[in-house]
Structure formats: C-alpha cells, structure tokens
Structure 1
Amino acid sequence: MRRRAVLTAATLTGSLVLAGCSGSGSGSSAAELSVSRPYMPQPVSADMAAGFLTITNKGAAKDELTSVTSNAAGQVTMHSTMGGAMEEKSAFLIPAHGQLVFKSGGNHLMFDKLKRKPRQGQTVTVKLTFAKSGPLTVEMPVKSATYNPSTGH
C-alpha cells in the first residue's frame, strides 16, 4: 500500500513537471505585466478627469485589461479613440510580448464622479484588473493640465 502511494505521488509529480514544460519553450506561458508612464493631467472640471499609462506584457501569453477602479472616482471607464470618435470599451487586449498604450488622443481612462479634484503634485491610486493575471495597483501622479510626456512639460 505504501509503495503504491509513493509511486502514485511520483507519477503525479512527474506529470505536473511535464505540464509546466509545455508551451513555447522560452520562459513562462503566462502574461508578465508591468505598468510604466502613468499620469493624470490636472483636471479642468471638478467631476471628471483622464488618465494615461502603458501596460507592457513580457510574457508568452496574451491577457486582457477588464476593469479599472480608483478610490478617487465613483467610476473609471476605458475608452478608445479612432478617427476622432470616442468609444467606451469593456476590455482591452494586451498581446503577448506587446503593449497596451493609453495616451492623449488615443486609448484613455476616464475618471467620472471625482470625490475630490486631484491637484498637480498629488497621486491617484488606480487598481487594474485583468482576465488572467492578478490585479496591479498603480500610483498615478497628477501633472499639469498641459503636461505632454514627450516633452516632459
């Protein structure tokens, strides 16, 4: 009986090791997400603001950004802008070995029903939720209303 239990455990362990080896062969077959360049221009209105950031996926699997929340706003929605038309999205794909960019004039976050008007120099905490990966919490610095990341002003 004891020998059978040991053999079963060894077989199960070997199966798990082999399952972990399947895939592309280079690294993990999961998404590896990180966030860079987060910022919020100081809002001009008292109840709405925009937010921008870049999510980089260094992993071999795609993922999706499915929601964004913040204690600074009653609601955070995600939008795409194509040909000057803004459309609310329920999710954004983050390709394997790729990026999802939120920038002025393109994809962006909208903070609605602000609980307080963020001021330049403050930070806003944002929680990003994904379909497969664990959530990421980001501190988004509030920049001047005219901030442009390409010039730094």
Structure 2
Amino acid sequence: MAATAALALAGCSSSSGSASASASADGKPELKVTESFMPEPVRGSGMAAGFVTVANSGSTADRLTSVTSGLSDNITLHTTKNQQMREVTSLPVPAHGELDLERGGNHLMFMGLKKQPEPGEKVAVQLHFEKGGTLKAELPVKEPTYNPKHG
C-alpha cells in the first residue's frame, strides 16, 4: 500500500483548465481555477493524484473543504511535508493569493478509481469551498511525468 501511494504521489503536480466561482465587493472570496491536471495513474493502482491552482482575487480568505467527481467516490486532500504525505480536512486559499496543489506538496488523492483515465481525457471535478461555494473544473490527463513548470 505504501509503495502504491508513493507511486501515486510521484504522479502528483499543475496544467490548464479554467473555471471560476464568484463573490465580490461584499468581502467574499473571488475564486478561479487557473491551472489543473492529473498525471496518468499507474495501471492497476486504483489511485490517482490531481493538481489545481485556485486564485482568490477577493479580500476574504477561504478554505477548500472537499472535492467530488464521477471518477471516484473517495477523494481526499493531502499535504506533503518532509516527504511525508498526510490527509487533511481542508486547505487554505488566502485573500489576494492562491492555493497551489503541485507535485511534492499539497494535492488531491483519488482512491478507488471507477475507470482508468487516459492522456488526452479530462476529469470533471467539483471543488467545494467553505465560503465560496462550489467551483467546477476539468483536469486534463497528462503523461505520468508531466510537470507544467518544466514543460
């Protein structure tokens, strides 16, 4: 199990797909997905990692509290510090800042995949926030080694 999680985490990083949830001058978060992707999961592992960048141009911080998708009924939020992956109940989205889920850091874990995502496909997700409601996004499936910061 640890080896499988390590393989899934190794597939963990961010690309493009754009969506936004509004809020505005009333002091609420203004959220938008600016990048997203899912590396092709290891065949037979039943697990995948997902990465998104959520920008908040609003003056109020928010928290990503959960993610849902037709690909899996079990999607969790994770942090990685000192090469240790840990599940968390939420991730902060600072005011006038961004939440960056990327390889080696914060990421989404999809467990019990209902199908094997293939490169070129897009995985639809709904990101649920404490204050900003639900934001829909698509994660393009990329090759397993894809890293947007390095091409």
The residue type equivalent to 1:36 in the other structure is: T
The CA deviation at 1:95 is 0.9
- 1:1-153 matches, within 5 Å, as 27-46=25-44, 47-152=46-151
Rg comparison, structure with higher value? 1
Q: Give SS of 2:150's match.
A: coil
Q: Give SS of 2:75's match.
A: strand
The residue type equivalent to 2:55 in the other structure is: T
Describe the superposition over 1:26-66 as per-residue Cα deviations: whole angstroms up to 9, x where unpaired.
Answer: 94411000001100000013310000010111000011111
Q: Which consecutive aligned stretches of 4+ in structure 1 deviate over 3 angstroms post-superposition? A: none
Residue 22 of structure 1 aligns with which residue? none
**Aligned-residue CA RMSD (Å):** 1.3
Per the normalisation by structure 1, the TM-score is 0.80
Partners of 2:85 and 2:144 in 1: CA distance: 20
Partners of 2:146 and 2:56 in 1: CA distance: 26
CA contact (8 A) 1:30 1:59 kept: yes
- Where does the alignment leave 5 or more consecutive residues of structure 1 unmatched? 1-25
Partners of 1:107 and 1:38 in 2: CA distance: 13
The residue type equivalent to 1:129 in the other structure is: H
Per the normalisation by structure 2, the TM-score is 0.81
Q: What is the total number of aligned residue pairs between the two structures?
A: 127
Q: Which has the higher contact order (CA 8 A, sep 6+)?
A: 2
Q: Give SS of 2:112's match.
A: strand
CA contact (8 A) 1:28 1:59 kept: no
